[in-house]
Each structure stands twice: as structure tokens, then as C-alpha cells.
Amino acid sequence: MTQSKSKRTKLLVLDLAVFCVVAGSWLLFTAHVSPHELALGFGSAVLATWIDSLAWRRMRVRFLATLHEVLSVWRLPWYVVSGCWEMFVILARELAGKKAGSFFRATPFHRTSGIEGISQTILATGYTTVAPNFIVIGVYREHLLFHQLEKSSVPKMIRELETKG
Amino acid sequence: MNIWLAAAIAVGACLFPCADLCMRGSAERRLVGLELSSILATILLVLLTVGFHRLPFIDLPLAMAIMSLGGSLVFARFLERHL
Amino acid sequence: MHRDWIIAMLAVVVIGCWAGTLGAWKMREPTQSLHYLSLPTTLGAIFLAVAVLLETGWTSTTAKTFVICLVLIGTNSVGTHATARAIRVRQLGHWEPRKEDGVEFIPSKKEK
């Protein structure tokens, strides 16, 4: 009973935070505080908060990543730069007549069960796919499947996001 | 004519190969063409907004960037299951 | 000087867009073409946002352009992942890695 009460409180706090972010974003982007714009903006914020709360409560949307996992994105700029260079080289070779490769590779990816594991998968997929020359297809039974045009080393981001041990 | 409009013309020209991607080949290839067109159209709209000095119109490419994801996901889902 | 930087940024945007388009058009397989969507998204969007910053300064237009850049990067990542998975399911009937599909299983450090 106490647990469900604390869970309800957490969800309410989340709803309030979402409303503040959405309403704040409206104010920032419109940069107007006329009555009709405020009415429309807060009405839209209420609608967005309601739909978001439905997603969290009914549709079982879950995301619970640690700050360390979210901040593992710091490696991404290097992978973007090196990936862009690889793409240019592969394109130049393709135009010169040497066909580009196509490699499906699976690397071990250990994740916890439950919401934390889902969050790890989301971040690993999202961050790795941003980098050129990496497209993550999915995570299946402790293996992360990705596609590359040219084989390269597995990004350290994936190692940082998986469960240690 | 300014440098922004010149860049817009150069980026706009990219839409011709995109049209070829969208019109010929397998369904998968056409979906890739659609996604690429969305990205290029967003960049083109930003260039045109600044080039024509109509800065309030920056909301158009912002809406385009957000909404194009929905279209891509719907087509990808259909491609996977129903087509 | 200031104008030269803007021209340089816009040149990178145009090069990124053209390289992405040519790459996507030239590749034989759709999954290969998907990789080239990242060039206009990363090079194009990031340098465009910087060019807008140099042109207009710290205005709401610049803020929105940076948001466009982030949205393009994020949505391209999600869209590419979904499309690549859809293509694999359509071609093979499943997306999971299996040895018979020619997937290379990278050994873990323990196995090495």
C-alpha cells in the first residue's frame, strides 16, 4: 500500500515536471505572453502531459538510465568525425570501382534484466547508430547486432553501457 | 542572390538523385530515398529561411524535422510486416 | 573574415549533403545506403547550425536551428535503426543474429 502510494507520488512529480518543461518550451519558442497565446500554450501543455502520463501508466513506457550511462555520449564526437572520414573514403573507393562491403557483426552486450536493461539497450542503440558506419539492428540474447560498411573496432560506448561482470 | 540561397540551390539539386532513389528500385530503397529527402528538405528550409531573411519561418524546418520521423517509422513498420 | 567562415561552413554543409546523396544513390543494398544518411545529418546539420549562429548571433533562430540539429541527429538514429531492422526482417524473416546468416560473432575478451 505504501509502495503504491510512493509510486503514485513519483508519477505525479513526473507529470508536473513534464508539464513545466512543455509549458516552458512553449514560452521560449513563442517568446510572447499575450493571453490567447498563453491559453493555447498551456492547453497544449496539459494535453501533452496527459498523453505522456498515459504512456508511462498504461503503455508501460520505461526509461531508467543512470547519469553515468547517459553521459557515456561524450565519446560520440570522435566516432562521428572518424565515421564521416570512413564514409568519404568508402564513397571514393566506390566511385573508383571498388565495391563497398556489407558486414553484419554481433558483439557481446551484457545487460541487466528489467527497466535498467531496456534503458541500456536504448542508449547503446541510439548513441551507436548516430555514428556513421554503425547501424545497430538490435540486442538479442547478450549479443548486439550491428551493420558496417567497413569493419572497425567496437565503440567503447557499448562497453561503457553494458553491465560489468 | 546571397551565399545562403546559393547553398540552398546546391542542396536542392541533391533532391534529383533522391527522386531517382524514390522512383526506382525495391521498396526498401525507396524508403531510404524518402528519409534522405526529409533530411535534405529540412536543411533546405533552414537555408531558405536565412537566405530570404524570413527568420520567423524557422519553425517550418523544425516541424519538418520532428514530423518526418513519424512518416519514416510508419513506412518502416509496414515494410517489415504488411507489404 | 566573418563572411569567410560562413562560406566555409556552408561549403561543408553542401559537401555533406552531396556526399550523403551520392553515397545513398550509388550503394547496391538499401542497408548500405542507410549509412549515408548520417552525413547530411551530422556534417550538414551541425555546420548549418554554426553558420546560422555566425550569421544571426545568439537569437531564437539560432536556438531553434540547434534544436533542429539535435532533432535531426536523434530522429535519424531512430529512423535508421527501425528501417535497417525492417529491411533485415523483410529479407530474412527475422532480425536476430544467427550464424547461418553470415553474421560475424565477435568473441568476448574472456573467450579470446
Mean pLDDT within A81-88: 94
C37 touches chain B (CB under 8 A): yes
Q: Residue A117 CB: number of other CB atoms within 10 A? A: 16
Whole-number Å distance between alpha carbons of C112 and C106? 10
The whole-number pLDDT of residue C31 equals 94
pLDDT in tens, A54-69: 887 787 667 777 888 8
Residue A26: band (very low, low, confident or very high) from pLDDT cuts 50, 70, 90:
confident
CA proximity to B69, closest of C83, C103, C56: C83
Closest CA to A84 of B75, C19, B41: C19
C21 interfaces chain B, CB cutoff of 8 Å: yes
Task: Give the pLDDT band of residue A2 (cuts 50, 70, 90).
Answer: low
Question: SS3 string of chain A?
Answer: CHHHHHHHHHHHHHHHHHHHHHHHHHHHHHCCCCHHHHHHHHHHHHHHHHHHHHHHHCCCCCCCCCHHHHHHHHHHHHHHHHHHHHHHHHHHHHHHCCCCCCEEEEEECCCCCCHHHHHHHHHHHHHHHHCCCCEEEEEECCEEEEEECCCCCCCHHHHHHCCCC
- For B10-57, what is each residue's pLDDT tens digit? 999 999 999 999 999 899 999 999 999 999 999 999 999 999 999 889
Q: Stretch C82-100: mean pLDDT, rounded?
A: 91
pLDDT over 60 at A83, yes or no: yes
Q: List the one residue out of C87, C90, C110, C88 whose CA is nearest residue C98.
A: C88
Q: If pLDDT is split at 50, 70 and 90, which confidence band does C111 have?
A: low
First to last CA, chain C: 54
Closest B-chain CA to C8: B3
Residues on chain A touching C22 (C-beta within 8 angstroms): 91, 95
- Per cent of chain C over pLDDT 70 is 96
Say what the pLDDT of residue A9 is.
83
Higher pLDDT, C2 or C1: C2
Burial of C79 (0-12, 13-18, 19+ CB in 10 A): buried
Write out chain C residues lying below 8 Å of B50, CB-based. Answer: 52, 55-56, 61
> Considering only CB atoms, which chain C residues are within 8 Å of B51?
none
CA B48 vs. chain centroid, Å, equals 13
- CB contacts, 8 Å: C20 with chain B: 14, 36, 39
- Which runs of consecutive H residues, i.e. helices, occur in chain C? 2-26, 30-35, 38-39, 45-56, 60-92
Euclidean distance between the first and final Cα of chain B, in Å? 45
Confidence of residue A3 (pLDDT cuts 50, 70, 90): low
Closest CA to C80 of A31, B8, A133: A133
- A100/A153 Cα distance (integer angstroms): 18
| Domain range summary for chain C, segments of one domain joined by + | 2-95
Put simply, whether C63 touches B (Cβ < 8 Å) is no
Angstrom distance (rounded) from CA B56 to CA B58: 5
C19-41 per-position pLDDT tens digit? 999 999 999 999 999 999 999 99
Nearest chain A alpha carbon to C84: A137
| Rounded Cα–Cα distance for residues A47 and C103 (Å) | 45
pLDDT more than 70, % of chain A: 95
How many CA atoms lie less than 13 Å away from A146 in the CB half-sphere?
A: 30
Say whether B21 and C44 touch across the interface (CB within 8 A): no
Backbone angles phi, psi at A135, to 5 degrees: -130, 115
Q: What is the mean pLDDT of residues A17-44?
A: 87
CA-to-CA distance for B66 and C112, rounded, in angstroms? 44
d(CA B11, nearest CA chain C) in Å: 6
Q: Among B7, B68, B79, whose Cβ lies nearest the Cβ of C10?
A: B7
- For residue C87, give the 3-state DSSP assignment: helix
The mean per-residue pLDDT over the stretch A9-23 comes to 87
The CB-based long-range contact list for C106-112 (8 Å cut-off, 24+ gap) reads: C106/A105, C106/A106, C106/A107, C106/A108, C106/A154, C107/A108, C108/A108
CA gap B67, B34 in Å, rounded: 13
Chain C environment of B41 (Cβ under 8 Å) = none
For residue B23, the tally of other CB atoms under 10 A from its CB is 10
C10 and B3 in contact by Cβ < 8 A? Answer: yes
CA-to-CA distance for A130 and A72, rounded, in angstroms?
13
Q: Is C15 on the interface with B (CB under 8 A)?
A: no
